[in-house]
Amino acid sequence: MAGPAGVFERAEALRAGSYEVIIASVGGGTVATSGAIALGGTRALGELPAVCDTVLVAGGPEAALLAAAATDLPNWLGRTACTARRVGSVCTGAFLLGWAGLLDGRRATTHWRGCERLQALFPAARVDADAIHAFDGVYTSAGVTAGIDLALALVAEDLDDTVAAEIARDLVVYLRRSGGQSQYSRMLAAQAAASPRLSRVLQWTAEHLDQPIRISHMAAQAGMSERTFIRQFGKEVGATPGQFLTRVRVEHARDLLERSDWALDRIAERSGFGSIDAFQRAFKAMQGTAPSVYRARFTAAPG
């Protein structure tokens, strides 16, 4: 909730009259969150304007979602979707859109951990497990911070990219995040499965991609022999060190292709590839297309 609300609040400060942000709940009043924060003075659904412009449903843990599904919220969402300009969700709020019947026949996403469950509960939906956010009649977004990505996209849609970019700079986030959920979930899953010692190696690797990195360097960071490191890395990360290194180099290059106008040889160098040929071969093997083709495709459809 806080991320998107912050985006719209900043948009209002930059363009007065753009947004009035209302925090609502089923019954109104103070609402406890799953963390240490309570929301005071929320407005009851029955007190909202007859026609809302934009409605975003925040997600939460499974117990909270099930409790919300047992209220009038899904029915209210179904009715509101008929009159509101747009309805969407942040993270697992997509489940409430599903219970409201708003995902049938539509492309949607949610946090990567919940995508399989979302598809099982709402088989008529087309769940895209890799999307950061999606629009197909309703707006849905991935994990918690993807709510910021979605809100920035809505501001760019309503006002312009200049305002959205200014807000992104203020929040120290990308205007349009590169890649999809899988690139982040793979890294996060690897770190979550890894011991603290190997997790530090993964982080160190990601921070030194513009430098030559050998398995011996990674093993040294872990304080292990190469043989022990390779065995332990495969056990914890599920890939060889070389495979992991190539993947993060390609993902870094993909990010640079999307948000910079650098020449391919510079991108190859900054991503740690020994040559542009090595970069192009690795990129095509992982992405299924050449770097130049990927960049042209992204430039043609930046949203």
Q: Are residues 84 and 213 in the same domain?
A: no
CATH number reported for the structural domain that contains residue 290 in this entry: 1.10.10.60
Q: Are residues 69 and 149 in the same domain?
A: yes
Distance CA 222, CA 158 (A): 49
The answer to whether residue 270 sits within a structural domain is yes
Q: Are residues 47 and 123 in the same domain?
A: yes
pLDDT grade for 168, boundaries at 50, 70 and 90:
confident
> Residues of the chain with pLDDT > 70: what percent?
91
pLDDT at 195: 86
Distance CA 184, CA 208 (A): 18
Q: Is it the case that residue 267 has pLDDT exceeding 80?
A: yes
The answer to whether residue 157 sits within a structural domain is yes
Q: Is it the case that residue 255 has pLDDT exceeding 90?
A: no
The DSSP 8-state label assigned to residue 208 in this structure reads T
Across the chain, mean pLDDT equals 89
Q: Are residues 242 and 130 in the same domain?
A: no
pLDDT grade for 301, boundaries at 50, 70 and 90:
very low
Q: Is it the case that residue 92 has pLDDT exceeding 80?
A: yes
Q: Are residues 167 and 193 in the same domain?
A: no
Indicate the number of domains in the chain: 2
Annotation says 82 is catalytic: no
- As a three-state string, the secondary structure of 125-141 is CEECCCCCEEECCCEEE
| Tens digit of each residue's pLDDT (9 = 90 or more) over 95-107 | 999 999 999 999 9
DSSP string, 163-181: HHHHHHHHHTS-SS--S-H
Q: Is it the case that residue 132 has pLDDT exceeding 90?
A: no
The answer to whether residue 237 sits within a structural domain is yes
Alpha helix positions (H), the chain: 2-14, 62-69, 73-80, 94-99, 115-121, 146-158, 161-171, 181-193, 196-207, 215-222, 226-237, 241-259, 264-270, 276-287, 291-300
Q: Are residues 144 and 280 in the same domain?
A: no
Model confidence, pTM: 0.67
74-27-145-301 Cα dihedral, nearest 10 degrees: 50
The DSSP 8-state label assigned to residue 68 in this structure reads H
Which of the residues 52, 82, 91, 115 is marked catalytic?
A: 91
Q: What are phi and psi of 80, to 5 degrees?
A: -65, -35
pLDDT grade for 182, boundaries at 50, 70 and 90:
low
Q: Are residues 26 and 108 in the same domain?
A: yes
pLDDT at 175: 64
User: Which domain covers residue 93, as residue numbers?
Assistant: 2-171
Q: Which of 115, 145, 171 is the endpoint of a domain?
A: 171
Q: Are residues 76 and 210 in the same domain?
A: no
Q: Of 154, 140, 75, 133, which Cα lies nearest the Cα of 103?
A: 140
Q: What are phi and psi of 217, to 5 degrees?
A: -65, -45
Per-residue pLDDT, averaged over 259-268, amounts to 89
Per-residue pLDDT, averaged over 11-24, amounts to 96
Q: Are residues 46 and 157 in the same domain?
A: yes
pLDDT at 247: 87
Q: Of 203, 208, 201, 210, which Cα lies nearest the Cα of 229?
A: 201
The answer to whether residue 122 sits within a structural domain is yes
| Tens digit of each residue's pLDDT (9 = 90 or more) over 35-89 | 888 999 999 999 999 999 999 999 999 999 999 999 999 999 999 999 999 999 9
Per-residue pLDDT, averaged over 19-25, amounts to 96
Q: Are residues 93 and 14 in the same domain?
A: yes
pLDDT at 302: 39
Q: Are residues 55 and 196 in the same domain?
A: no
Q: How far is CA 221 from CA 85, 97, 135, 243, in A?
A: 53, 46, 43, 18
The DSSP 8-state label assigned to residue 91 in this structure reads G
CATH number reported for the structural domain that contains residue 133 in this entry: 3.40.50.880
Spatial contact of 24 and 30, defined as CB atoms under 8 Å apart: no
pLDDT at 33: 87
The answer to whether residue 231 sits within a structural domain is yes
Q: How far is CA 66 from CA 99, 113, 142, in A?
A: 10, 17, 19
| Tens digit of each residue's pLDDT (9 = 90 or more) over 184-206 | 555 656 666 688 889 889 888 88
Q: What are phi and psi of 134, to 5 degrees?
A: -140, 150
pLDDT at 65: 94
The answer to whether residue 176 sits within a structural domain is no
Q: Which of 152, 171, 190 is the endpoint of a domain?
A: 171
Q: Are residues 30 and 167 in the same domain?
A: yes
Q: Which of 123, 139, 171 is the endpoint of a domain?
A: 171
